[in-house]
Amino acid sequence: MASLIHCPHCGVRPSQEFSIRGDASVVRPAPEASDEAWHEYVHIRSNPHGRHREHWQHVAGCRRGLVVERDTFTHDVFSVTDGAAVAREGGR
Amino acid sequence: MTAYRLASGGVIDRSSTLSFKFDGRAMKGHPGDTLASALLANDQLLVGRSFKYHRPRGIVTAGPSEPNALVTIGEGAATDPNTKATVAELYAGLDARSQNRWPSLKHDIGALNGLLSPFLSAGFYYKTFMWPAAFWEKVYEPLIRRAAGLGRTVLEHDPHSYEKCWAHCDLLVVGAGPTGLMAALTAGRAGLRVILADEDFRLGGSLLAETTRIDHRPAMDFAEACLAELRALPHVTIMPRTTVFGWYDDNVFGAVERVQKHVVAPQAKLPVERLWRIVAKRALLATGAEERPLVFGGNDRPGVMMAGAMRTYANRFGVAAGRSVAIFTNGSAGYGTASDLAAHEIEVAAIIDSRDAPLDAAPAGVRVIPSASVIDTRGRQRVCGLVVERAGFEETIACDAIGMSGGWNPVIHLACQRGAKAVWSPELSTFLAPDLGSGLVVAGSAAGRYSLGGCLEDGAERAARIAADLGFSTASNPLPAVGEEVDPSFTALWYSPGAKAKAFVDFQNDVHVKDLGLALREGFGHVEHAKRYTTTGMATDQGKLSAINATGLLAGMQGISPADVGTTTFRPFYTPVAFGALAGTSRDEHAAPVRKSPLYGWAEKNGAAFVDSGLWYRPAFFARHGEKTWRDSTDREVVNVRQHVGLCDVSTLGKIEIFGPDAAEFLNRLYCNPFLKLPVGKARYGLMLREDGIAYDDGTTSRLSPQHFVMTTTTALAGGVMSHLEYCAQVVWPELKVRFCSSTDQWAQMAIAGPKSRLVLQALVEDDVSDAAFPFLSAAVVTLKGGLNARLFRISFSGELAYELAVPAGLGEAVADAIMEEGRGHGICAYGLEALNVLRIEKGHVTHAEFDGRVTPDDAGFGRMVSAQKTDFIGKRLSTRYGLTAADRMQMVGLKPVETDQHIRAGAHLLREGAKASTLNDQGYVSSACYSPTLGHDIALAFLKSGRERYGERVVVWDKLSGGDTVAEICHPVFVDPGNTRLKV
Ligand SMILES: [Zn+2]
């Protein structure tokens, strides 16, 4: 876990100010999508050793949802992006 | 008397005397002493007993790697166990006690363990205390705990205060020895923001014990000049008494500053210790090198010390470790110590050198025995001689102290805390830090450059490179001129052959060479296994002295290189850190924030008994004169609400203001029931699901204007629902034009419930609140008499005619007072959480006792509320899956005891009559239960398999906790006024 997170809205802040929601690769399916797609969305999370994109929220700061791309092994953080901006581009 | 204070020398203040106590004995020392140096000056060499065999143990080092000299300092609640005497700064009134001995340090019963030592071999605990299992708790563990003493903690409240801080710098320099001082100077002169941290109370590191001259003056003077210049530099912060204990991600370092550990009575306005998190762009590790002990027979007898420590005691503290000192060495450093001791006119009995043809010069008249091995020591509680073996001949040499010098180990602990493995250097016969990138650079002795000149140069050079990297320009200052130095080279010696007594590897945990051999033979030869099997390196010193020798011995026994054995894992903390420092101010009532409702004052003056409810303090009940238990008060409050009127503080409910053209659409997607067409001026009960179809939270949401809603959540999930909304608005549906903010703390909200509630309210509100003008589920901004705007909702949790009135938080108490005043004639009472709970159970209303994360809307009787029309809402898709719609799911029912004097408690399980209590026969559980003063007996809400089809049946309420079983009748969950006639009047 990183010690510091560079929030795009608040600057460099201690990671204790953030809460983690997990895998950001999942995108909510359309209502009519298959059972499989919904099952994947609700229940399946990837848990990689290495690069990973996660939903974080700056709960003790701007309260924005963020997408943090980081390495679960080296703890390097590659990017922190506003979650809405990512979602508008289709979640990727 | 053998150890003594030298007539002169040392950086101690001889003009001042400090009185202190050790095991009750009065002693004297000087400012500048450590407890250890003062003990030695008082010839108190014996300071503790070892962990397993309770062998007498003396001071070994002059620093943080000390395995033996652990003492308890202070009295009562301020007791500090396991303090290293070698780093504890002496102060007047210090009261230290030895540990792990009974009845006294000199006569210790546990030493009998030594006689049993053949049975206390490696893996002893694993082998002996295996069975019978029942013996573990009652016999083995207490026995081990008593014998395996070390210091004892106290259970009293720690009276000291602690705090936490952040610091930021360009360069953090860890260690203020020659390397660190030069690095800090170089960087500080270039304009970097520098933090120089050192665990010692006096900065200078090895310079304080150095006899080599720098720039033609004593090394101590050089150190002082460096520090004077650093203090004058504006961007340099010097932090003495500060141990940097951990290296964390993003170059954040943990450090603990001992602000007031060196005073007998700490000032209350300052913390005793301060925990620092230091964010450093770059860090330079100038932690120096540790001298390596030698593993030889009888090497644990008090009086056997590190040679370098003897040198420090003599040069820095003006203390001689003995009158006649023998040196056992495998390199030149031992000769350096011998020279320094001789210069203080301490007799050097002999230099025993393991090397064949040493070229080093011994002090005049000192006998050197090369190619030799120390095989045993003489003496009981302190050394009186040693046995040397050379070419098969043994000789006993009288001495009262033995200095051992086995080479050098760079202190690379911090560098290896983040997963990087230490690298074996065959040239230096030690482990070095690997390349760690630019964040942390290791310099000087910590990087294997042991010479004084090398340290000064390395510190300056590496700091200059860091400065350049960060864009600062450095002026080139000439390096200080260093006088003649002792060559630091040595020939590794893992084990001095021919031991005639136990040769210890780990002094604190009593691990000797044969233990490691046994571990290897029994298949625990991997360094991590050997550590745990033998406990070497597992004591409070974490193997600072012993680990390298354990690795060397394991390598030697297997005929492989230490590189192939490796080291055990380095983890924070470098030295132990008190829990108090880690907790900081987050303790006792400050462990979590205290939230007080805006009506706290009102509740208090009305006699509330408060209960912790999450972070909130909420009124549980309002006791009146003569009421003996909470039940007396609660029953009265319930009856009063049903018959007259009551006022309850509901300010803790979460409140979220929601705005925007898409606010209605947003709510429609959040709740499982429809919200799109909620008219302005109306409130509606809303139920939120999780995406997996399970009920998440509920509350009423009202539309105050077309684009403005106010949502209420349960108290418990106010924060969670807010985050849920934010996630949905930002990530799931970023296209919706909606904004919201929490207003939980901005409003004081009061429930005014009971048949007379309208009478009370109408007297206070300008607007018409009659049933015709303000029917059930109305919501509006109203004007209170006097002109204050307030929000009024006609909603009811109790089932009575009721309103909720919200006013700005700061005016809450005044409005509540006015309501109470107005209501007095109508018999108003304040009611608390307990009565609120009874009222809602009587009415069959759910809370999180029911919505416990397993319950669907249909389980709780809300099945018809879930909209089939809406194309989408959170939880829609998965709420229709098979498992959530099965016919035999547990459904919410009411229960009442068949014998009305019988009780039902929440948590009880339900069984068919006559069925054996088993998981297989489990029919459900009780979620909420209470005594209903309205009905005169216990009632309960429960979840029961196919419950709604079983009204009138009987079940057994099985309650193993309270002991009894109660037969109950299954009924509709609404016990009071199922037709809602009291609500809509
Ligand atoms: Zn932020």
Strand pairing report for B383-390 and B242-248:
unpaired
Give per-residue pLDDT as tens, B309-344: 999 999 999 999 999 999 999 999 999 999 999 999
* Cβ-proximal residues to B237 (8 Å cutoff; 6+ apart), any chain: B167, B169, B193, B194, B195, B196
Instruction: State the distance between the two ends of chain A, measured CA to CA, in whole angstroms.
Output: 22
- Count of A–B CB contacts within 8 Å? 60
A55 interfacial to chain B (CB closer than 8 Å): yes
**Å from CA of A62 to ligand 1 middle:** 4
Q: Do B691 and A75 touch (CB under 8 A)?
A: no
Mean pLDDT, rounded, of chain B = 94
DSSP B374-424: EEEEEESSSEEEEEEEETTEEEEEE-SEEEEE--EEE--TGGGTTSPPPEE
- Among B288, B277, B272, B282, residue whose Cα is nearest residue B246: B277
State mean pLDDT over B606-613: 95
Which pLDDT belongs to residue B484? Answer: 87
* Neighbouring C-beta atoms of residue B22, cutoff 10 Å: 21
Which pLDDT belongs to residue B541? Answer: 85
Which pLDDT belongs to residue B399? Answer: 97
Residues of chain A positioned with their CB less than 8 A from the CB of B734: 84, 87-88
Sheet harboring B393-398: ordered strands across?
B373-379, B383-390, B393-398
Which pLDDT belongs to residue B957? Answer: 97
State mean pLDDT over B211-233: 97
**What are the CA-CA distances from residue B89 to residues B32, B36, B259 (Å)?**
7, 9, 12
Q: Does the structure show a pLDDT above 80 at B597?
A: yes
Chain B residues contacting A, CB < 8 Å? 166, 248-250, 252, 277, 279, 691-692, 723, 726-727, 730-732, 734-735, 871-872, 876-878, 881
At B245, list the tokens. 């204990």
Q: Does the structure show a pLDDT above 80 at B123?
A: no
Where does B259-296 show beta strands of DSSP type E?
273-285, 289-291
d(CA B649, CA B817): 12
**Å from CA of B726 to ligand 1 middle:** 13
Alpha-helix runs per DSSP H in B505-628: 513-521, 527-534, 547-558, 562-565, 579-583, 600-605
Reported as type and span, the H/E element at residue B429 is none
CATH of the domain at A19: 3.30.2270.10
Give per-residue pLDDT as tens, B500-551: 999 999 998 889 999 999 999 999 999 999 999 998 988 888 899 999 999 9
Give per-residue pLDDT as tens, A34-53: 999 999 999 999 999 999 99
Q: Does the structure show a pLDDT above 70 at B921?
A: yes
**What are the CA-CA distances from residue B59 to residues B203, B350, B949 (Å)?**
22, 21, 79
Which pLDDT belongs to residue B103? Answer: 64
State mean pLDDT over B57-68: 95
Give per-residue pLDDT as tens, B182-213: 999 999 999 999 999 999 999 999 999 999 99
Give the total number of structural domains in chain A.
1
Percentage of residues in chain B with pLDDT exceeding 70? 95
**Å from CA of A87 to ligand 1 middle:** 17
Identify residues whose C-beta is under 5 A from ligand 1, the ion. A 7, 9-10, 58, 61-62
pLDDT band at B139 (very low <50, low <70, confident <90, very high): low
- Among B209, B196, B181, residue whose Cα is nearest residue B62: B209
**Which domains can be identified in chain B, with CATH numbers?**
4-108 (3.10.20.440), 113-147 (no CATH), 162-289+410-469 (3.50.50.60), 594-886 (3.30.1360.120), 888-985 (2.40.30.110)
Q: Which domain holds residue A42?
A: 4-88
At B963, list the tokens. 């002991």
Does the ipTM surpass 0.90?
yes
d(CA B786, CA B807): 13
Which pLDDT belongs to residue B538? Answer: 85
CA dihedral B182, B185, B190, B193 (to 10 degrees): 120
> Which of B95-104, B246-255, B432-441, B605-614 is predicted least confidently?
B95-104
> Do B350 and B368 contact (CB within 8 A), yes or no?
yes
Where does B38-161 show beta strands of DSSP type E?
46-49, 56-58, 70-73, 80-84, 95-98
Query: Quick one: DSSP state of residue B651?
Result: T
Query: Quick one: DSSP state of residue B199?
Result: S
At A25, list the tokens. 């690769």
Which pLDDT belongs to residue B49? Answer: 82
Which pLDDT belongs to residue B485? Answer: 86
Alpha-helix runs per DSSP H in B167-292: 178-190, 219-232
d(CA B724, CA B717): 10
- Among B19, B22, B30, residue whose Cα is nearest residue B71: B22
d(CA B692, CA B769): 41
Give per-residue pLDDT as tens, B10-39: 999 999 999 999 999 999 999 999 999 999
How far, in whole angstroms, is CA B166 from its chain's centroid?
17
Interface test with B, best of A20, A28, A35, A80 (most B CBs within 10 A): A28
Q: Do A88 and B734 touch (CB under 8 A)?
A: yes
pLDDT band at B108 (very low <50, low <70, confident <90, very high): low
Which pLDDT belongs to residue B540? Answer: 83
* Cβ-proximal residues to B964 (8 Å cutoff; 6+ apart), any chain: B902, B903
